[in-house]
Amino acid sequence: MLEQIGITALAEVDEALARRATLALEGGAVLLFPALPFALLPGEAALISAGQAAGTAKNVSYDPAKGALKGTGLEGAERDCLAGMVRRYGEFTEALVRAVLPAYASGLTRARTSFRPVEVAGRGRSWRQDDTRRHVDAFPTSPVQGRRILRVFANVDQHGTPRQWRVGPEFEAYAREFWPLKQPLPGAATLRHMLGLTKARRSHYDEAMLALHDAAKRDMGWQNSSPAEEISFVPGQVWMVYTDQVAHAALSGRNLLEQTFLIEPECMLLPERAPLAVLSRMAGRDMRRPLW
């Protein structure tokens, strides 16, 4: 499940390494970059170390299209410092993805960046929002309509706190565990979009991925008994994974940077491994079709 990419600079990536990394990622691996950290500026490190970046929300969110920062109570110079950090992280991760995964260049969209300062363990969330339970990612209000969800993470904690994950099993085994899925009501997707509850109309794929997300989080028997592997990411490490494919849970940790990318599945070297293709085979139809 863990594939280490031991580069210290993007210039070290050659065609063979890029292909190995892409195939590993598409096969369900977590790519770890142990020697390529995201370097914090002194003011950023001091802000994180002092624990002042949390504000009132568990996540600080940055929209690169609008340059808008949300989820923090910081003001003035401290707010500017935090915004600068997440903006630089987005730029850092896009350069990393384009260098290591060049096949995706034509179908790559950089979405929101987040900073997650709050300790995961003991946070006390509802079962659907409890990220200590394994799940695959799906976006309730922002349908991806078959595009992949690639996320790049960096542990930037300044006090040695690791980020502890549990991952597995592989996607098809995960999906078959909860198949067949409950079918949505006719017209529900159109109504949600008309009411502004979703940014686009959900496809059959979006509905299925949301159902798989919820089914796994709801089922504590599966959470406790299905095959899984634990991974510890220490401060300074950067990693990336297809979070729509790899069932994952964050058990503990704080001060995490995260960047989301959307990838067109046609750009993949192994498009048949994409959840869209897996679910389409299982359903016997094209799951990218829009719901009504």
pLDDT at 130: 95
| Predicted pLDDT at 53 | 65
The 3-class SS string of the chain reads CEEECCCCCHHHCCHHHHHHHHHHHHCCCEEEECCCCCCCCHHHHHHHHCCCCCCCCCCEEEECCCCEEECCCCCHHHHHHHHHHHHHHHHHHHHHHHHHCHHHHHHEEEEEEEEECCCCCCCCCCHHHCCCCCECCCCCCCCCCCCEEEEEEEECCCCCCCEEEEECCCHHHHHHHCCCCCCCCCCHHHHHHHCCCCCCCCEHHHHHHHHHHHHHHHCHHHHHHCCCEEEEECCCCEEEEECCCCCEEEEECCCEEEEEEEECHHHCCCHHHCHHHHHHHHHCCCCCCECC
- Hey, which residues does 233 pair with through a beta bridge? 163
The pLDDT of residue 183: 80
pLDDT of residue 171: 98
Please give the pLDDT value at position 169. 96
What's the predicted TM-score (pTM) here? 0.96
The confidence score (pLDDT) of residue 54 equals 57
pLDDT tens per residue, the chain (292 residues)?
Answer: 899 999 999 999 999 999 999 999 999 999 999 999 999 999 999 999 988 665 556 789 999 999 999 999 899 999 999 999 999 999 999 999 999 999 999 999 999 999 999 999 988 789 999 999 999 999 999 999 999 999 999 999 999 999 999 999 999 999 999 999 988 777 888 889 888 889 999 999 999 999 999 999 999 999 999 999 999 999 999 999 999 999 999 999 999 999 999 999 999 999 999 999 999 999 999 999 998 8
Structural fold of domain 2-283: Jelly Rolls (2.60.120)
Tell me the per-residue pLDDT of 40-77, one tens digit each, with 9 for 90 and over.
Answer: 999 999 999 988 665 556 789 999 999 999 999 899 99
